[in-house]
C-alpha cells in the first residue's frame, strides 16, 4: 500500500500507467442509481462492454446536445449553490437557463434521429428545470427545490445509462 502514494520515488521509472489505466477504463466508480422510469430497476451498470444505444448525429447536432448538457450541469450547480447560500430565489435564473426555450434552438434535423424515449426524457428534463424556476419565483421552499432537483437528476442518470452519441 505504501507504494501507492508514488511520485515520491523518482528513481522508479514508469509514468504511473497503472493509475491511468485504472482511471480511464476501470469502471467500478459509477453508481448512479437509476430510478424507476427506466424499468431496469436499480441494477448496477456493468463495467464491461458499452451497451448504451447509439444515437447517430451530425457534428453540429452533437455539439448542440453537448452544449445543452454542459448548461444542464451549470444550472444544477447554480441551483444547489443558491440553496446552499440560503438564497433559494437565485435558483430561478439558474434553472431557467435550461428551461423549455432551449429546445426551440435545436436543429430541426435532429429530432427524427432521436428515439422517442430519448426525446421525452429530454423534454421532461427541460420541463422540470422550468418547474424549479417557478418554485423559486413563488414560494422558493428550499426542501421542495432540492426534492425537485433530486427527481430531475434521476432523468440525467436514466438517459446517460441508456444512450450515447456517435457522429456520422
Residues that bind ligand HEC (CB under 6 A): 66, 69-70, 72-73, 76, 118, 121-122, 125, 152, 155-156, 159-160, 163-165
Tell which residue, 37, 57, 29, has the closest CA to residue 166: 57
Give least dist CB 122 to ligand HEC, A. 4
CB nearer ligand HEC, residue 12 or residue 63: 63
Give least dist CB 84 to ligand HEC, A. 17
| Cα separation, 46 vs 37, whole angstroms | 19
Give least dist CB 15 to ligand HEC, A. 26
| Alpha helices (H) along the chain | 17-25, 59-84, 91-96, 101-104, 108-111, 116-137, 142-162
| Cα separation, 128 vs 121, whole angstroms | 10
Give least dist CB 77 to ligand HEC, A. 9
CB nearer ligand HEC, residue 140 or residue 156: 156
Tell which residue, 66, 91, 89, has the closest CA to residue 163: 66
CB nearer ligand HEC, residue 45 or residue 122: 122
Amino acid at each position: 500500500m505504501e507504494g501507492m502514494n508514488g511520485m515520491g520515488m523518482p528513481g522508479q521509472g514508469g509514468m504511473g500507467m497503472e493509475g491511468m489505466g485504472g482511471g480511464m477504463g476501470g469502471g467500478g466508480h459509477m453508481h448512479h442509481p437509476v430510478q424507476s422510469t427506466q424499468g431496469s430497476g436499480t441494477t448496477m451498470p456493468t463495467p464491461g462492454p458499452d451497451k448504451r444505444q447509439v444515437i447517430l448525429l451530425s457534428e453540429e447536432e452533437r455539439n448542440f446536445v453537448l452544449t445543452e448538457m454542459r448548461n444542464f450541469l451549470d444550472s444544477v450547480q447554480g441551483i444547489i449553490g443558491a440553496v446552499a447560500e440560503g438564497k433559494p430565489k437565485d435558483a430561478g435564473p439558474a434553472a431557467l437557463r435550461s428551461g423549455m426555450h432551449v429546445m426551440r434552438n435545436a436543429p430541426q434535423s435532429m429530432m427524427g434521429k432521436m428515439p422517442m424515449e430519448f426525446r421525452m426524457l429530454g423534454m421532461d428534463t427541460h420541463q422540470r428545470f422550468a418547474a424549479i424556476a417557478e418554485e423559486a419565483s413563488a414560494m422558493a421552499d428550499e426542501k421542495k427545490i432540492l426534492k425537485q432537483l433530486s427527481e430531475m437528476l434521476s432523468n440525467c442518470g436514466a438517459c446517460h445509462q441508456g444512450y450515447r452519441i456517435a457522429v456520422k
